[in-house]
Copies of this chain bind each other. A is one copy, B any other.
């Protein structure tokens, strides 16, 4: 039996295959037979092979690189967060590498492994829509690896998080629609497994409650994909039924844009017949017709705040480990009122 730090090369030699085959077999990549995968995994288990990821994180020296894992770079909010991250990182002599998960749990896991074997000093994460089990993050937290979550915050102990007040943002948005004379407001909700979706829905419900508007459960519709096509279809269906709503609060601007297209296709005028408010203030939101009212999350500020926290964890690592508790910084949102919701001229 082999003792000490077993490497992929040791396993490869023993089985008379190439190190890259071992690496791929351990990672369950396609193109490797099940038989080979089983042989490799059995020997790796027997020899207590520890994958690079954890080994690296235990013996690494500082690389002055931080990793950022986000669902999608095409999501405007995340691109503004990245700018905020880089602002703080670069001015402190750190480089930034990014991985996108495309909202896939499998890619999220392999991204973390890639990042760790790349000897990053710390990790900023907004997890995927598929992620409901946080074991892969828990492992990192348990070995005191510096990690800060932003926007999407896991249900785990001892995490450090930066998020925005989604409840308040949604509450203000719906309160504004009501002040503009909307009483029959549809909510295009986000994916149910994300806490941000729940918070935004709660904000919507609280605004209705405070205005004594009865809740219609049929008007809360989940948009799991968050695409334009999805909200186009959903909006068409709901506005062809009776009673016809007079307001839409969407949990993101893409869904709001799809909804606006559907309303136009039905001959409804925005904001005269239907007031619309989105969430996130995408780059396009001021340019569409009519310009879309929305809730800004100040992504740049989120990125800055999360990175400052992460550098604190990295620099005063030991101190931070013993004193840190479950710590969540909640930043305020801002309602941006454009033409899509202005039914009354002030």
- A residues lining the B interface (CB < 8 Å): 19-20, 23-24, 27, 29-31, 61-65, 72-74, 76, 79-80, 82-83, 86, 90-91, 93, 95-100, 102, 107, 110-111, 113-115, 117-119, 257, 261, 282-284, 287-289
Q: A86-B100, A287-B287, A289-B289 are in contact. Are A95 and B76 (CB under 8 A)?
A: no
- Residues of chain B contacted by A20 (CB below 8 angstroms): 61-62, 64
Q: A86-B102, A283-B74 are in contact. Are A110 and B95 (CB under 8 A)?
A: yes
- Residues of chain B contacted by A24 (CB below 8 angstroms): 64, 93
Complex CA distance for A278 and B100, rounded to whole angstroms: 28
The 7 tightest CB contacts between A and B, nearest first, are A289-B289, A284-B284, A29-B93, A118-B118, A74-B79, A95-B114, A73-B73
> Are B288 and A114 in contact (CB-based, < 8 A)?
no
Among A23, A91, A95, A117, max chain B CB count under 10 A is at: A95
What's the minimum C-beta distance from A17 to chain B, rounded to whole angstroms?
14
> Are A117 and B63 in contact (CB-based, < 8 A)?
yes
- Residues of chain B contacted by A287 (CB below 8 angstroms): 257, 261, 284, 287-289
Contacts A/B (CB < 8 Å), 25 sampled: A19-B61, A19-B62, A20-B61, A20-B62, A23-B62, A65-B117, A73-B73, A74-B76, A83-B102, A86-B100, A95-B99, A95-B111, A95-B113, A96-B99, A97-B98, A97-B99, A97-B115, A97-B118, A98-B100, A118-B118, A261-B287, A282-B284, A284-B287, A287-B288, A288-B288
Among A24, A27, A79, max chain B CB count under 10 A is at: A79
> Are A288 and B284 in contact (CB-based, < 8 A)?
yes
What's the minimum C-beta distance from A93 to chain B, rounded to whole angstroms?
4
- Residues of chain B contacted by A97 (CB below 8 angstroms): 97-99, 114-115, 118
